[in-house]
């Protein structure tokens, strides 16, 4: 889904966003938008390559607009100022035209590794649109066009729709089988006849392609800003899941009127041109799909609310689990120690241990039943000898008698 332009990191010294854009707290969204466009072009890095102060002012203007263009952020700021805003969650946009070859290579590498890096749109493209001097190619409803656009350049397309198509809804999508990086842009006509940038959607990898789309279907649709989840994962991998849907941002435009509307595909690759396919569709041919999208959008919103509540429950349960786990370890250690002491006590009940103790203590211990044998060893020995003698004698006599009979 589409998002408004802007979203850089917060400047070190922050001024009131209303003061930066020279608007009041009662200013309308359109007045804020107009002020931003004027200042963004004035301080754009493309036009002020040798003026570092202009670059800082451009960041400040973009940061201020990122707050005032978002209804929720604007409400939070109006209530509690900068303290209410999560400045760490605001994106950083870089200008490739002033980045330099080496830094561009590093940015390309980080992007390849999955680090979310957003780029600004060239001031030349924005000025062409504002002056109405760009070349516009027709894109009829129900058709697709293949193209290749150089980096930091744009191909403009005019989509003309009638009343029935406007009422039913329109979808404009761009895909790249080569997984090129690009931006899908939507421009609205100003009172002076030029076109101002209204919405932009950065391409995202979906399966084996990169894609971006804008859906004007008369109900609220959302885009998912993955940079928020990436930042959450870097800070706390466990919390990344709960922040996954926090990047949902409402598309500011949910319907467009009959007439010709200007879209553009902007090359966002770091080095090479972006190859793409753009198509414009009428939702009338996709009624079931449109209804399904409406249901899914509502379910995802409910799920985000549920996850916020579940995170609180999960944190409590996790804390309890850690407490119980610690007690488990302590109880296990305690039981092991008690059983070890018990085994040690059991092993103390032994004759060998008693005899050993007696010798060590210099005294003797008598075992019951052994007193008589200990006191009269001779008698016992004599009796045994007598028995053995008698046995031998009887054996001798028997053999002797047997021998006599044989002799006779």
Lowest mean pLDDT among 315-329, 330-344, 366-380: 366-380
Q: How much is the pLDDT for 172? A: 97
CB atoms closer than 10 angstroms to residue 246: 17
Please tell me the total count of domains within the chain.
2
Using CA atoms, how far apart are residues 205 and 209, in angstroms rounded to an integer?
6
Task: Please indicate, yes or no, whether the overall pTM of this predicted structure exceeds 0.75.
Answer: no
Residues 153 and 286 in one domain: yes
* pLDDT given at position 233: 58
One domain for residues 32 and 141: no
Query: From CA 171, how far away is CA 159, in angstroms rounded?
Result: 11
CA distance 175 to 5: 21
Given a cut of 50, whether residue 44 has pLDDT beyond it is yes
How far apart are the C-alpha atoms of 267 and 182, rounded to whole Å?
5
Q: Determine the average pLDDT of the residues in 198-214.
A: 91
DSSP per residue over 63-93, as a string?
Answer: HHHHHHTSHHHHHHHHHHGGGGS-GGGS--E
241 and 289 together in one domain: yes
The verdict on residue 368 lying in a domain is: no
Separation CA 382–CA 390 (nearest Å): 12
The proportion of the chain whose per-residue pLDDT surpasses 90, expressed as a percent, equals 37
Is 214 part of a structural domain of the chain? yes
More confident residue, 257 or 40: 257
In a domain, 352, yes or no: no
- Residue 328 belongs to some domain of the structure: no
Residue 394, pLDDT above cutoff 90: no
Quick one: which of 405, 400, 402, 2 has its CA closest to 201? Answer: 2
In a shared domain, residues 45 and 93 = yes
Inside any domain, residue 348? no
Predicted local distance difference test score (pLDDT) of residue 376: 47
| Domain final residue pick, 272, 293, 314 | 293
193 and 275 part of one domain: yes
Do both 24 and 165 map to the same domain?
no
Q: Does the pLDDT value for residue 7 go beyond 50?
A: no
189 and 239 share one domain? yes
Judge whether residue 299 has pLDDT over 70: yes
Residue 76: which domain range?
1-120
- pLDDT category, 396, cuts 50, 70, 90? very low
Of all residues in the chain, the percent with pLDDT exceeding 70 is: 71
- Alpha-carbon distance values, 315 to 237, 238, 269, 309 (Å): 14, 11, 41, 10
- Residues 29 and 82 grouped into a single domain: yes
pLDDT band at 6 (very low <50, low <70, confident <90, very high): very low
Return the half-sphere exposure (C-beta side, CA atoms, 13 A cut-off) of residue 79. Answer: 8
Range with the lowest mean pLDDT among 208-212, 326-330, 350-354? 350-354
Average pLDDT over residues 284-302: 94
145 part of a folded domain: yes
Among 277, 293, 309, the domain boundary falls at: 293
Q: Are residues 139 and 116 in the same domain?
A: no
Per-chain mean pLDDT for the chain: 78
Task: For residue 38, tell me if it sits in a domain.
Answer: yes
Domain boundary among 293, 325, 344: 293
> Do 52 and 176 have their domain in common?
no
User: Sign of torsion, CA 64 69 71 73?
Assistant: negative
Would residue 357 count as lying in a domain?
Answer: no
pLDDT of amino acid 232: 58
Does residue 369 have a pLDDT over 90?
no
Q: Is the pLDDT of residue 45 over 80?
A: no
190/41 Cα distance (integer angstroms): 15
53-95 pLDDT, tens digit per residue, is 887 888 888 888 888 887 778 888 888 888 767 544 444 454 4
Q: What is the CATH number of the domain that holds 177?
A: 2.60.120.380
The pLDDT, as a whole number, for residue 235 is 64
CATH number of the domain within which 27 lies: 1.10.287.110
The pLDDT of 324-352, averaged and rounded, is 92
Higher pLDDT, residue 142 or 383: 142
Please name every residue paired with 262 in a beta bridge, in sequence order, or none if there are none: 158, 187
> Which tens digits make up the pLDDT trace of 111-131?
444 444 456 788 888 888 988
Res 96 pLDDT > 50: no
* 150 and 261 assigned to the same domain: yes
243 and 95 fall within a common domain = no
25 or 240, higher pLDDT: 25
For the ranges 156-160, 166-170, 207-211, 372-376, the lowest mean pLDDT is seen at 372-376
Q: What's the whole-number mean pLDDT along residues 216-243? A: 75
């Amino acid at each position: 889904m589409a998002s408004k332009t802007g979203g850089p990191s917060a400047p070190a010294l922050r001024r009131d966003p209303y003061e930066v854009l020279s608007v009041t707290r009662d200013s309308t969204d359109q007045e804020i938008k107009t002020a931003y466009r004027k200042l963004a072009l004035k301080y754009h890095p493309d036009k002020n390559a040798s003026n570092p102060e202009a670059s800082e002012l451009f960041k400040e203007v973009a940061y201020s607009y990122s707050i005032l263009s978002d209804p929720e952020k604007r409400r939070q700021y109006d209530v509690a100022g900068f303290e209410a805003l999560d400045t760490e969650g605001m994106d950083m946009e870089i200008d490739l035209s002033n980045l330099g070859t080496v830094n561009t290579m590093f940015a390309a590498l980080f992007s390849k590794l999955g680090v979310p890096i957003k780029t600004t749109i060239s001031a030349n493209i924005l000025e062409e649109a504002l002056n109405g001097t760009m070349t516009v190619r027709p894109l009829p409803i129900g058709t697709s066009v293949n193209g290749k656009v150089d980096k930091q350049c744009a191909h403009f397309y005019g989509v003309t729709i009638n009343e029935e198509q406007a009422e039913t809804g329109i979808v404009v999508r761009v895909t790249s089988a080569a997984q090129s990086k690009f931006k899908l842009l939507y421009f609205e006509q100003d009172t002076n006849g030029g076109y101002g940038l209204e919405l932009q959607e950065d391409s995202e990898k979906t399966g084996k392609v990169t894609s971006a789309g804008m859906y004007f279907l008369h109900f609220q649709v959302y885009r998912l800003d993955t940079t928020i989840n990436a930042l959450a994962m870097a800070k706390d991998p466990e919390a990344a899941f709960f922040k996954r849907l926090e990047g949902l941002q409402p598309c500011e435009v949910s319907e467009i009127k009959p007439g010709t509307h200007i879209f553009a595909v902007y090359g966002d690759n770091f080095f090479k041109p972006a190859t793409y396919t753009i198509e414009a569709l009428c939702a009338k041919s996709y009624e079931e799909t449109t209804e399904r999208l409406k249901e899914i959008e509502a379910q995802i919103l409910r799920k985000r609310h549920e996850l916020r509540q579940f995170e609180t429950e999960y944190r409590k349960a996790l804390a309890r689990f850690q407490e119980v786990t610690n007690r488990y370890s302590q109880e296990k250690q305690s039981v092991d120690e008690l059983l070890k002491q018990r085994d040690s006590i059991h092993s103390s009940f032994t004759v060998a241990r008693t005899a050993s103790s007696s010798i060590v203590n210099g005294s003797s211990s008598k075992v019951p039943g052994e007193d008589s044998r200990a006191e009269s060893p001779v008698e016992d020995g004599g009796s045994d000898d007598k028995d053995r003698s008698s046995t031998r004698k009887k054996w001798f006599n028997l053999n002797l008698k047997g021998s006599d009979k044989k002799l006779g």
